[in-house]
Each structure stands twice: as structure tokens, then as C-alpha cells.
A and B are shown apart, each in its own frame.
Chain A
């Protein structure tokens, strides 16, 4: 196995080199000069002054684009280097989904112009926009990169397509530590406990039994070309319930809190009245400019919600900001350098599918997840966005029936097969829906120790043929110490279904190891599938500052493919469970058995038997006694 690993780790490194080299100024502070005409992201201002006056004018002509693109960007993007380098951006993307649901994605980006990982600058005491609670944590534990997400619900890839930033159900935390850290495990343990306090979540349940060090699946997304996975820690808590108590501390990290800007929309009674809720914090170091002369810390806070038009709209497909959030927008966050609302109108080029009001003259195009999308843009920093009522309430009215969605190119599902409480089989099914391109995916499975995997039963089948993974990294579990970790690089044939199966045996736990609700079952976290999926359109490798936040999170290395991470469902597995109402009965029974059964059997088995004289009757004994006293010979 070791030789196999060494030989093939090269393949893996090649494959993920695209992720491992974000240092080449993937994220820039400065705007590019506008000579790059092939920019896939641009903002177009067709008629800035008469915004929303005429719907027809809003129609976006392809000929105008070419003309307007250059001057539009020139006009709007007169970027001046800020004197204070800290910066805050906020944005909300709304995408009407084909299923009729509404996907709302908030992104807040705070840039912090400091580099405390440099030698000699360990102490940072100046905080402006960046939350101090997180900054202190970063410097204390020498964190290189930190990603944490809390998700309630499961992202339905087949109905909703790919999310901007995927996350598994429950809590997920992965951290790259700086390479100077000597005691990574110690730092990790303390860090999880501190984060647990900050986010009011049960992250303190992360310990060595659910932490793994993936060798290839999680590469740093920011600066730093770390490939030594000894500094990486990854853990999920699939059982974590996310609710308002997690939302409040998350909101407090924002410079404006929930007082102004987009964050006023975050009312928990509405956010949690939805089909899917996910909030995340991503911290990573990035370059300040193209040459990467100075570095900055980026804090991205994302919140993704999917609203269900059936349940909240009583069957009517119509929504507005007020209906979704029970608030309207009145101002941008005063500290924000940009504050925008994007609405995805790609499927609605002629306005026949739905109608958006107020209309906006601003359109933007972005290549997101291998697809060129068009967005209506509402800039909250402009007064005219709010109209005369000083309030901005976006309204969307469906006219027609939305067509079928293109099947997402990659999706996966997982389930437990078999019945009974002794053995079982984990099936992971990965679909490649690309009609003619094969591509490799990296599958990562972390299975708790109490499911004892039979790794010799591991099979990978595509199109009913054996599909040999080109790279396998397997770390067996140690009972009560660490989980199984299985990573595989699998080539998915075009238009195929690949099934990965592995059998397991359910362990019998010690009675103190059961949860308070043992009959509920035990969770196994989601599998993670990371892949570079062939893109339909050329991805932009040329990152600029003015592109929307949602399209700039994962650095893109190649034009021909884009990075996707898919999480499968977590599993709920029943383990053999004793009847816990039984202890009393058991104690009674054992005591009885020990006292009566064991004692007498022991007695019976160890006693030596002798035939003894039958003792004379009482009268005879009395007579003999008297005779003995009298000195007369005894009776026979």
C-alpha cells in the first residue's frame, strides 16, 4: 500500500496543483487595467441615469455589450487605493431555482491589512473592521487558514444545482496551521474549544475520534503552498443542530452587525423557516495586489438560504425581499466599500419567465461554476436604488412555468445497505452526467471507529466494470482513538454511475459510550467529493477586484475546468443497543444467579462426598449418653 501511495501521490499532486497554487495572485486587491477585453466579468451600465424608467430599455442587447462594456467598467470602476487598507464588502445573490425555490446567498468580505504570521509581528493590537475575537484566535493558534460551516438541511443538488460554496449537514471545520506550529494536535484541541465558545456550537465535541488529516482533498484556498497535511485538521459533526444561537454570534462578527446593510435581512424567524440554511466563516491569507507584494487576511462570511415557495407562499410562486425576510433594505452598511444585490436572470433573458421589480439598468455577467450567468445588479450605495420610499423591496413575479434544469454534471448520494445489527454495507454512488468527458474525482470518507470497515471488500464499479482507483490513501481506525480515513482518486467515465461499496461490522460499545438516545442511531459524516469538472464555458483565470464575491471564492487555475465539491448525505446507523431500562433487572438477576446458582454449584463441584454412618436415632443417643455417664457399655 505504501509503495502504491508514493507512486501515485504524484498524480494526485498534479491533479490538485491547481488548488495548491493560489499564490499566483488569484485574488487581487487592485483592479486590472482594462486592456483585458476578454474579461468574463463585467458590469454594464446601459443607462445609469434613468434607472428603472423603461423596461424595454433594460433589455440587454448583445451588440451594446461590446460597446458599453469598456466604458461602463471604466466609469464605474475608478478604483482609488484606500488609505486604510481594511475593507468591507457585502453582497446578496438571489437565484430563482428551477424547482420554484429561491436561493439567497449572502457574502460579506472583510479584508484586514496585516500579516501577523511574519516573524516578529506576532502581536497585533489594532483592529478596525476585522473582529477582534477571531483575530486573536488566529494569532494565538498560528492559524494559516480556517473554514467553518454550520448547516441545517441538505443541499439538493439534483433540484437546485451547485451552491456557490458547498457545505455538509451539521458543522464542518477544517484548519491549516502555520508550519511553525510544533504541537498541532494541542493547538487544534484548544482552537476547537475556543471556537465552540465563539460560535456557541458543540465544536468541543471534536476530538481525536472524529478528526482526520486528509492527504489530498482539502488544499489551502489562500496563499501558501502547503502540501504537508500534518498541518491540516478536518472534522465534521453531522449531528450539530444549527439555530439562532449560532446565528447571533455569527452576525456579531460583521462590522455593521445586523444594524445596517444587508444584514438587517437576517431575522432568524424567517431564515429558519426555509428548506436549507447554511452559514460559514472562511479566513485565509490573500495577496493585496497582483505582484503579491503585501498580504492581507480575508474573512468571508457566507450565509446561504433556500426558501420554499410551496410552504411559505402557500403554493403561489411569487416572492419579495419582504416576504422572504420580513424586512426591506433601507441603506448599505456605511462601512462597506461595496454593497450589492444580484439577481440571477440567466433563464429569463426576455422577461417571459418572471418579472422583476423594481427593474434595474445594471447588468452583470459572471462565469460561475462552469456556466455564464447574467445578473441584474442593485447597488445599495446609490441613493436611487431605494427610490422615493427610501426602502428597497425587490419583487419577483413568476409568469410561466420554469423549464427543466440541466442535470448537474456531478452529484453523489450515499446509503447504508443491508439489515440487522451485525454487518452492513456503505454504498456511495457518484454520477458523472457529462455526455462525453471523463474526469477524475477525489472521494474522501471519514468513518467513525465503531463501524469497523472491511477494507478488503472495497469495490469501485463503473458501468458494471471494475474501476481501479489510481490513488488510494487508507488509514485504518483505532478503536476509541481515531476514525477510518479513506481517500481515493477515481476516474469517472462519461455519462456514468460509479458505485463505491465497502462492508462494515457494527461494534459493540461500552455502556458508557452510548449517547443519551442510543436508539436514535449514530451518525457517519458526509463523504466529500472534490473534482475539477470540465467547464462549458471558459473560466476566468484572471481575477480582479471588481468581480462579484460569489464567483471569486475558489481560485481558478485552468480555463477548461472548475472546482466543485459535493457532499453526500450523512448516514444514520443503528448499533446494537442494550435495553437501558434493563440495568435494574440485570442487577437483580445477576445477584440472584450469583447468590443461588453459582454458590451452590461451586459447593456441589468442590465438595468431596463420603458415605457417612447414618446417625443413631435421638432416643438411642440419649440412652448412650446416660450409659456413658453411668459407665455401662454403650448400645450398638
Chain B
């Protein structure tokens, strides 16, 4: 601080910062990228460990053995599902009652804002069935949830079968301290959302549902099970939830510990762990796994039925059985034992899971990167914005400083009017609001005038508004009375830089991946943008690094990483469906990525676009 209170040294420091601004920014950017890529390198990561005492040291013995029964129940469920053409409610209620559970049902209905073409649904009507296993001598204050979705077609029958077999086995045990809720939800996430809203008696998304009749106190943890084959080769753990929320790391540790104990192959992001971290392949593998997690987390959707629990402060994860081409297969009884062990350990919990990390990245199941390690990567990017802002600030203040020195210059046009800066800001944000509101509200009109389906109408309207926003600078200029001044764009850029820094900073605190991906693409152009650059070239660069193109790149990278590369046209179709899914996720489950991009990031980017065309 003495550094700042001494005017000479302060001047020296600012001189240094302004003179070396560009190189420092470059170094920061490179360092951020290198730091981030280094996170996947095994010696730099920590080994996962169980923090929760109640789950770590207690012994649990798994005895579940009714795998055959689970499979026959799965067949029966399948038959009844086909007959009922959906959730076989009566059968399921009877089956659960016969296992000594208190059974309740919940019906729900939801009209989507526009048809979901991926899942082919528009008017959704369904029923959730759940049975509560009451713990002996427990006062109904705590509960655990095990869910299995009732999916159309052949999938997930085994999950329901295993659920029922587990219920039967659990019912005969005396050691339960928490009630256990066995839930079969229809229409995957929509049913889950209806059940959770019903359980907590809230209504966030305009869902219509019948109130729940039976409850079991506050839910401590939830496991979602997806299983579509009689035997499996590996189990995949899915953690990414709504808005990039993650469950407590101890839940992942618990899964990993039991996979180790029972000799089950376990994967994360569908990728097995490799032991050769010191080879290039080993590192690439870990980096790919981590990148997949970053991409999944950034898109802010719930990647399994568990994802919606996280909003209610319920730690939850999905476990998916994978039947691959490996030789070594496991039967349902083993998965049953794994679940039994996990549920028993969760049953031992004295407090909610809170000991371990909530913010982490996983390059593999046994290694994790904590928030303290990955945040510097983002911090280095955010510093660039602040440095550029400082540079502009000093630049703007420089003439005034000279005036004090007595060097009388020609009277500068007194600082740019508020209007000069405010107009582009307001207009950009109005465009953002249009991008947020119009696609869904104008779909009917679009369908009337153009030969497209509702979904296409929504997505194409969004793309159209986004593109139309590019014409904005000319309109803005027309609105302004005078010529744009040199000072004008500087003030605007200063505002925009600080605005972007705050936006990205807040985003990264909640959802690191989203903040980081946006920062990587937005920071270089925003930092370097001036009206004096060659227009055509920099306009091209700006468009190629705009938020929409970021999504497009992410689609391609994601496809590449899951080893299903797509051609350009397929990629474009995927891109359109990603946009429609984003809008749907926002309307159905309250995902915040679409409003964030439409209402804040895109207008912010438009402000820089304005600067480029400053005249």
C-alpha cells in the first residue's frame, strides 16, 4: 500500500502496467490455458478420500442375493408396461404393497412450451408411484430415496425389477434408521420434477400435479438407477446436475469404494481409469475425461434423474449400468449388493453429507481437482479483463492529469455524455430480452408464415434474432445525435469490460465450467477490441468467438470426446437441438444457462460489437 500512497511509485507502477499491458495479458491467457490443462495431470491432482466419518469407518456387510427375483420382476414389469402402454400403476402399487411398503401415487401433467422433438413429447401426462419403507423406531424425520425411471420401450425394466427386489430385501432388515422411499417415475425428468415439487409443496415451473399423500421427512440423499440389461460390464456414475450443481464428493467416493470392494468396473463420463499417467496416452485420457465433465457441467442441464434433487439440497447421483463388449460381466445381484452397501452407509449418516467438497472436477474416479486448484485458471483470465480496464482508466484519466500540471491544451470536449454510453447498453440489453422472450412467444406466428414445425420455429427465431443483433451498431449510431468520440468508445469499453468481468466471475463461482468456457472464448477479443482495427477481419474474429459459436464448438468437441464425431451438417442439426433443449430445460426445470446467455452474455458481447463499429 505504501506503493500506492507514494505518487511517484504509483506512477511508475501504472506506467509499467500500461506499457507492458499487452504482454502481461498474453502471458496470463497462456498461463490460464496451461494451468487448466495441467489440472488433469495426475501428480497435480489429489487422491479422493472419504471425509465423512459415519461412512468411512463403519463396517457394512452386503447380503443381497435375489438377483433372479429382480430379473423375473423386471420381466413382469415389462409385460405390464406393454399392456398398460405406460406406467403399469395398478401392478406396481400391488407389487409394492405386497412387499410391505406404504404405497402412494401422484399424477401430473405438463404442457411443454413447444414440442420436444428429441423425446417426441408435447402434452405430458403421467403417474409416479412410490412406496415408503418405514424405518422401525424412527420418527419419520429423515429419508433416503432410490429411484428408477419407467422409460418407454425396453429400457430400464431391470432397474425397476432390482428396485422391487431391493425393497423386499430391505423390508426384512431391522437396522434402518431412515425411511427409504422407492420411487418409480414416469417421463424421466418431468416426473421427477413433479414428484420433488409435490414433496416440497412448491411450484417453480408451472407443473400441474396432485398433492402427495405420504411423506417421510427431510430427504438426506438419493440414488437414481438406470439399468437396461440383465448383465452389465461396468457401472457409470453421473454427477452433473441442474445448473452445473454437483453432489457432495463423498457420494462419488462411496460409489467408488463399493465398486472397489465388490470388484465392479466403474467409469465416469463412460471412461475407465488408466494407470499410466506418465505416458501421453494416459494424460490425454484423463484430460478427455475432465473436459467431458467440464462440457457437461457447463451446459447446465441435468444429466440424469438425480440432477433435480440438488436444488433441494439433497445429495444425489445416477448410477447407470453399461453392457459393453468386455468379457467380464456382472449380474444384477452384484449391483444389488452395491446398492445395498451404499444405502446402508447412507443410512448410517448422522448429518447431511457436508464434510467433503461440493466444487470439484474429476479427471478420474480416484482423483479430483478441488476448487482451490481450478479457480486460478479462471482467475488468470479474469485478471486480463481487469488489466485492460485499468489501462483504459489510466488512458482516460491522463489528459486531466496533464491539465493539473498546467499545460493548457485545447479544451477537450468534456467527457462523453451519459447518453453515448447508455444507449448502446440499453439497446444491447433490449436485444437480449427479445432473444429471451420472442422465440417461444412468436412460435405460432412463425408456424403460420413459414413451413416449419414449432420446434424449428423457436430455434430459427432465436438464431434470427441473434443474427439481427449484429446489425445493431448502425441503428445505435442513428439514434445518437453526434459523432462517436474517441473518449466515448473508451468509456463504453471500460464499462463493458468491468461488466463482463463481474458476469463471468459470478458465473464461475456458481458453475466454474460455464464461466471458464465463456472466458476462454470471450476474453481475447473483448480485451483487444478497438474501433481502429481492420473492420472485416476483426468482425470475422468476433463472430467466430461469439457465444453462439462457442456452443457450436462445444457440440463438436463433445462429439469428438465421446468418440462419435459428426459431420458439419449433423453438427449443425445437433447445435439447433441443443438450443431447443436449452430453452426447454429453462422452461421445464428452471435451468439458468439460457437466460444467462440471452439476457447477459449476449448483450455484453453486443456492446463490444458496437465498439468495433464505433464511428
Contact B350 A520 (CB under 8 A): yes
Residues A419 and B141 in contact in the complex (CB < 8 Å), given A517-B350, A572-B217:
no
Partner of B141, one of A156, A570, A601: A570
Contact B174 A311 (CB under 8 A): yes
A389 interface contact, C-beta 8 A: no
Within 8 A of A (CB), among B78-107: 100, 102
How many whole Å from B139's CB to the nearest CB in chain A?
3
Contact A572 B171 (CB under 8 A): no
What residue of chain A has the Cβ atom nearest to residue B4's Cβ? A604
Contact A419 B312 (CB under 8 A): yes
Contact with A along B169-202 (1 / 0, CB 8 A): 0011110000000000000000000000000111
Contact with A along B195-222 (1 / 0, CB 8 A): 0000011100000000000010110000
B535 interface contact, C-beta 8 A: no
CA distance A552 to B398 in the complex (A): 95
Residues of A within 8 A of B352 (CB): 519-521, 574
Residues of A within 8 A of B218 (CB): 416, 521, 572-574
B5 interface contact, C-beta 8 A: yes
Residues of A within 8 A of B174 (CB): 273, 311-312
Partner of B202, one of A276, A419, A421, A569: A419
A558 interface contact, C-beta 8 A: no
Residues of B within 8 A of A420 (CB): 313
Contact A419 B137 (CB under 8 A): no
Contact B5 A415 (CB under 8 A): no
CA distance A596 to B2 in the complex (A): 11
Contact A413 B215 (CB under 8 A): yes
Residues of A within 8 A of B354 (CB): 519, 579
B301 interface contact, C-beta 8 A: no
Residues of A within 8 A of B355 (CB): 581
B568 interface contact, C-beta 8 A: no
Within 8 A of B (CB), among A260-278: 272-277
Residues of B within 8 A of A518 (CB): 351
What residue of chain A has the Cβ atom nearest to residue B312's Cβ? A419
Query: Which of B141, B218, B354, B355 has the most chain A CB within a 10 Å cutoff?
Result: B141
Residues A153 and B137 in contact in the complex (CB < 8 Å), given A418-B200, A419-B311, A572-B142:
yes
Residues of A within 8 A of B201 (CB): 415, 417-418, 425, 427
CA distance A573 to B200 in the complex (A): 13
B140 interface contact, C-beta 8 A: yes
Residues of A within 8 A of B34 (CB): none
Residues of B within 8 A of A315 (CB): 172
B324 interface contact, C-beta 8 A: no
A487 interface contact, C-beta 8 A: no
Query: Which of A415, A570, A601, A603 has the most chain B CB within a 10 Å cutoff?
Result: A415
Contact B5 A607 (CB under 8 A): yes
Residues of B within 8 A of A579 (CB): 354
CA distance A601 to B4 in the complex (A): 10
Contact B1 A274 (CB under 8 A): no
Within 8 A of B (CB), among A565-588: 569-574, 579, 581
Contact B200 A153 (CB under 8 A): no
Contact A571 B141 (CB under 8 A): yes
B20 interface contact, C-beta 8 A: no
A258 interface contact, C-beta 8 A: no
Within 8 A of B (CB), among A187-224: none
B138 interface contact, C-beta 8 A: yes
How many whole Å from B584's CB to the nearest CB in chain A?
22
Residues of B within 8 A of A413 (CB): 215
Interface size of B by CB at 8 A reads 33
Contact B141 A604 (CB under 8 A): no
CA distance A517 to B174 in the complex (A): 25
How many whole Å from B123's CB to the nearest CB in chain A?
26
How many whole Å from B199's CB to the nearest CB in chain A?
8
Contact A311 B136 (CB under 8 A): yes
Residues of A within 8 A of B140 (CB): 154, 569
CA distance A310 to B133 in the complex (A): 12
Contact A277 B137 (CB under 8 A): yes
Contact B138 A154 (CB under 8 A): yes
Contact A275 B5 (CB under 8 A): no
How many whole Å from B526's CB to the nearest CB in chain A?
29
B429 interface contact, C-beta 8 A: no
Residues of B within 8 A of A52 (CB): none
Contact A311 B139 (CB under 8 A): no
Contact A569 B1 (CB under 8 A): no
Residues of B within 8 A of A571 (CB): 141, 217
What residue of chain B has the Cβ atom nearest to residue A151's Cβ? B139
CA distance A275 to B135 in the complex (A): 8
Residues A519 and B5 in contact in the complex (CB < 8 Å), given A415-B215, A569-B140, A570-B139:
no
Contact A604 B1 (CB under 8 A): yes
B285 interface contact, C-beta 8 A: no
A56 interface contact, C-beta 8 A: no
Residues of A within 8 A of B134 (CB): 154, 156, 275
Residues A275 and B136 in contact in the complex (CB < 8 Å), given A520-B351, A600-B1:
yes
Contact with B along A597-626 (1 / 0, CB 8 A): 001110110010100000000000000000
CA distance A169 to B100 in the complex (A): 22
What residue of chain B has the Cβ atom nearest to residue A313's Cβ? B172
Partner of B139, one of A170, A312, A517: A170
Contact A153 B1 (CB under 8 A): no
What residue of chain B has the Cβ atom nearest to residue A427's Cβ? B201
A152 interface contact, C-beta 8 A: yes
Partner of B136, one of A274, A519, A569, A609: A274
A560 interface contact, C-beta 8 A: no
Contact B141 A153 (CB under 8 A): no
Residues of A within 8 A of B350 (CB): 517, 520
CA distance A573 to B313 in the complex (A): 12
Residues A418 and B171 in contact in the complex (CB < 8 Å), given A170-B139, A311-B136, A519-B352:
no
Residues A604 and B138 in contact in the complex (CB < 8 Å), given A417-B202, A419-B202:
no
A9 interface contact, C-beta 8 A: no
CA distance A150 to B103 in the complex (A): 29
What residue of chain A has the Cβ atom nearest to residue B139's Cβ? A169
Contact with B along A272-303 (1 / 0, CB 8 A): 11111100000000000000000000000000
Contact B172 A314 (CB under 8 A): yes
Contact with A along B350-377 (1 / 0, CB 8 A): 1110110000000000000000000000
A22 interface contact, C-beta 8 A: no
CA distance A316 to B313 in the complex (A): 40
Residues of A within 8 A of B200 (CB): 417-419
Contact with A along B212-248 (1 / 0, CB 8 A): 0001011000000000000000000000000000000
What residue of chain B has the Cβ atom nearest to residue A577's Cβ? B354
Residues of A within 8 A of B313 (CB): 419-421, 574
A159 interface contact, C-beta 8 A: yes
Partner of B137, one of A274, A600, A601: A274
Residues A154 and B351 in contact in the complex (CB < 8 Å), given A427-B201, A572-B217:
no
What residue of chain B has the Cβ atom nearest to residue A600's Cβ? B1
Query: Which of B140, B174, B217 has the most chain A CB within a 10 Å cutoff?
Result: B140
Contact B351 A153 (CB under 8 A): no
Residues of B within 8 A of A427 (CB): 201
Residues of A within 8 A of B171 (CB): 310-311
Chain A positions near chain B (C-beta within 8 angstroms): 152-154, 156, 158-159, 169-170, 238, 272-277, 308, 310-312, 314-315, 413, 415-421, 425, 427, 517-521, 523, 569-574, 579, 581, 596, 599-601, 603-604, 607, 609
> Can you list 23 A-B pairs with a CB-CB distance of less than 8 A?
A153-B138, A154-B138, A156-B134, A158-B102, A273-B174, A274-B137, A275-B136, A275-B137, A311-B136, A311-B174, A314-B172, A415-B201, A416-B218, A418-B201, A419-B311, A419-B312, A517-B351, A519-B354, A521-B218, A569-B139, A579-B354, A581-B355, A601-B1
Known: A272-B137, A569-B217, A570-B139. 19 other contacts (CB 8 A): A159-B102, A275-B134, A308-B136, A312-B174, A416-B218, A417-B201, A418-B201, A419-B313, A519-B352, A519-B354, A520-B350, A521-B218, A523-B141, A570-B141, A572-B142, A581-B355, A600-B1, A604-B4, A609-B5
Per CB-CB distance, the 6 closest pairs between chain A and chain B, nearest first, are A600-B1, A169-B139, A417-B201, A519-B351, A153-B137, A572-B141
